[in-house]
Amino acid sequence: MATSRITVAEIARQAGVSRSAASYALRDDPNIAPATRERIKRVAQQLGYRPDPVLAKLMAHLHVRRGTHYLGKLAFLNPSRDRDFLQRTHALREFFANAAVQAGALGYQTEEFWLYESGRSPKRLAQILLNRGINGIVLGSTGQPGSIVDFPWGKFTAVTVGYSVVSPSLNRVVTNHYRNTLLALRHVTEAGYRRIGLVVDKEEPTMENLHLAAFYVHQRALPVKQWIPACVSSGDIGALRAWFNRYRPDVILNADMPLQYLEKAGIRVPQDVALVSLLRWDDQAGIAGVLPGYERLGTSAINLLASQLHHNETGVPANPHIMLTEGSWIDGESLPVKR
């Protein structure tokens, strides 16, 4: 393929990110996580991408002349009891970083707020936001299933991420955990694995048990002798080891289990078992799995919120929508192809 034909859109597709994320990464924008920037650059290099200097100069000229029309400020609202939850949680950190990039591209500034700031009630926070002209909110996850967020939503336009917040029932953007699991199962099967196990923990309900659902639907199509019940370990190393010894899977799928967790149970990867992550992050070098696409969720959330603001849609929607984003597969040494 001629290098002159490689576009940013093609790089984005190959890297499993949005076009805007790829564009910003190639320009070393600090709002894109460093590991994500490096991965996108590696993809660009592998494809033979070379920026067009004439086009780059033209776009810079147009940007200077046109500028970005300032449309206001959006609030990133942390509804967790943990003040630092958004920054400590990998998925949310990536989600909000890329949401900030997309917001800036559309002309919005962003600012993070904590719902449980000492001495400030949700009603008072709402008044502060309105006084500052902020009526668009991106509501983060609490990390706890069945969460209720007490906030006066009537004058605000909002979207949320994930399934943890059940009340209010807002428009939300979500990773397609079900189809991502099926994607992983297809790659595992194509690599020659037949005894497939799934390890989940007590936090699976925050994903509507969709990993479990896809796993069991897949198993129903297999011979009974290949069926392996999922291991719900809840952090119990002994339970994991007992499950592994009893069923002897040749590959383990997991939602977000550190490699050290298996090592503590005396299970070596890939010598004893292959490993696939259903929530694979850029810093998990060598691990095969599904990049969940949280950077694209951030872009989707801002686009959805901007559309709602444009149409003056405020309050809790009567018929909330769910926007699903599918992940992308990445190979790794933890899943060697069986000969």
Helix (H, G, I), strand (E, B) or coil at 325: strand
What are the DSSP calls for 254-268, one per residue? ESS--HHHHHHTT--
> Is 90 exceeded by the pLDDT of residue 71?
no
Q: What is the mean pLDDT of residues 97-111?
A: 91
What is the pLDDT, as a whole number, of residue 195? Answer: 93
Report which secondary-structure segment, H or E, holds 288.
strand 288-291
238 confidence band (pLDDT: 50, 70, 90): confident
User: With the C-alpha atoms ordered 313, 315, 319, 325, is the resulting torsion angle positive or negative?
Assistant: positive
> Is 80 exceeded by the pLDDT of residue 312?
yes
User: Are the C-beta atoms of residues 290 and 183 closer than 8 Å to each other?
Assistant: yes
Give the long-range contacts of residues 47-56, CB within 8 A, separation 24 or more.
Answer: 47/1, 47/6, 47/10, 47/11, 47/14, 48/1, 48/3, 48/6, 49/3, 49/6, 49/11, 50/3, 50/4, 50/6, 51/26, 52/4
Give 195-211 pLDDT, tens digit per residue: 999 998 765 666 778 89
Give 215-236 pLDDT, tens digit per residue: 999 999 888 888 999 988 767 8
Longest dimension (CA), the chain: 67
> Is 70 exceeded by the pLDDT of residue 299?
yes
Helix/strand/coil percent split, the chain, to 5: 40, 15, 40
pLDDT winner (highest mean) among 22-31, 195-204, 249-258: 249-258
What is the pLDDT, as a whole number, of residue 186? Answer: 96
58 confidence band (pLDDT: 50, 70, 90): very low
The percentage of the chain sitting over the pLDDT mark of 90, rounded to a whole number, equals 49
> Is 80 exceeded by the pLDDT of residue 33?
no
